Structure 1
């Protein structure tokens, strides 16, 4: 039976500390999007084994994912923007907050704001299309998607909705996090 493995990239080389204004947070996100992973970051053996054993590897084309693949010693069969992270829909507030607080506000806004229903629908549609590609590729054996935490959550929901069940993995809260799905 094939498995679908969803993997989050390694630890990003850009760090956030202190308080950020809206504009400072947006600049941080721009830097994060351009960054690779930490120079000394090595993948857990389990993640390297899972991705290395996949018959097909799909990946985001973000720099942090490209470097993650290199550390895993794997070349993606497909690397493209369709698998990129959903951009944070950060509210423009006159506050100074830690980066994690801005991210929570952005994700909550993206999930619940009626004004952003179109963006939410687009994200769900893209995750559905990516899940379909993973399901098609699973006909050849295990398939891995190396990408991003938030987007992988949407893909995971789609797989669960198609009858695939999560069988292992710690989730995407930390770099190198993963989930494994089976039919």
Structure 2
């Protein structure tokens, strides 16, 4: 049996999708259009120029098992990292959908609406999306799955998403895992947890 202090979990964000939400930030849109953009984003493939940095490839490659969301930007990131042969795809690791309203007015920048809807989400707004309570429960299950994988294989990497990775990180910390490295919040960024 592997000693607990040797276990490692890496939480990594997927590569840059073809539909880059950063490029939409200044577009003026209705709340309903925000929902349409988010739905397109959920099915977007990776951009052809989204190549994992050497540090991301090295840390992911050092892990014995890879877990991934079932969204295309995550599964294709697994392929670009060369981890397809040791990957477990699980929809539990998917991103928590951005809630939105079906209104056609007013129009604000996509960034403004996304910020408003995500802030409201933290206070319980979940129309057309998952509630924060449900996302937290799912994050608990995800953290448990990662802990099990790390206990069995000594190391595991998750190819996930910004919000759900943050919620999982909070759960890991609560379970006694220590964050020992964090790169950024960009595409291909990662955080390393050890126990």
Q: Same fold (TM over 0.5)?
A: yes
2:122 paired residue number: 111
CA offsets, 1:128-159, max 9 Å, x none? Answer: 00100111111121111101011000000000
Aligned residues: CA RMSD: 1.8
Distance 1:174 1:100 in 2: 16
Distance 1:163 1:49 in 2: 25
Query: Does 1:158 pair with 2:171?
Result: yes
2:95 paired residue number: 85
Query: Residue 114 of structure 1: CA displacement?
Result: 7.0
For the residue of structure 2 that corresponds to 1:146, the secondary structure is: strand
Query: Residue 169 of structure 1: CA displacement?
Result: 1.5
| Structure 2 counterpart of 1:3, from 8, 20, 23 | 8
For the residue of structure 1 that corresponds to 2:28, the secondary structure is: coil
TM-score by length of 2: 0.86
Query: Cα gap change, 1:89/1:114 in structure 2, threshold over 3 Å: closer, same or farther?
Result: closer
1:52 paired residue number: 61
| Structure 2 counterpart of 1:124, from 116, 133, 136 | 136
Query: Does 1:66 pair with 2:75?
Result: yes
Which consecutive residues of structure 1, in runs of 5 or more, have no partner in the other structure? Answer: none
| Structure 2 counterpart of 1:13, from 8, 14, 18 | 18
Report if aligned partners of 1:91, 1:105 keep a CA contact under 8 Å in 2. no
Equivalenced residues, count:
181
2:3 paired residue number: none
2:109 paired residue number: 98
Distance 1:135 1:65 in 2: 20
2:147 paired residue number: 135
For the residue of structure 2 that corresponds to 1:129, the secondary structure is: helix
For the residue of structure 2 that corresponds to 1:166, the secondary structure is: strand
Distance 1:12 1:34 in 2: 9
Query: Cα gap change, 1:114/1:91 in structure 2, threshold over 3 Å: closer, same or farther?
Result: closer
2:191 paired residue number: 179
**The 10-residue stretch of structure 1 (119-128 or 95-104) with the greater mean CA deviation from structure 2:** 95-104
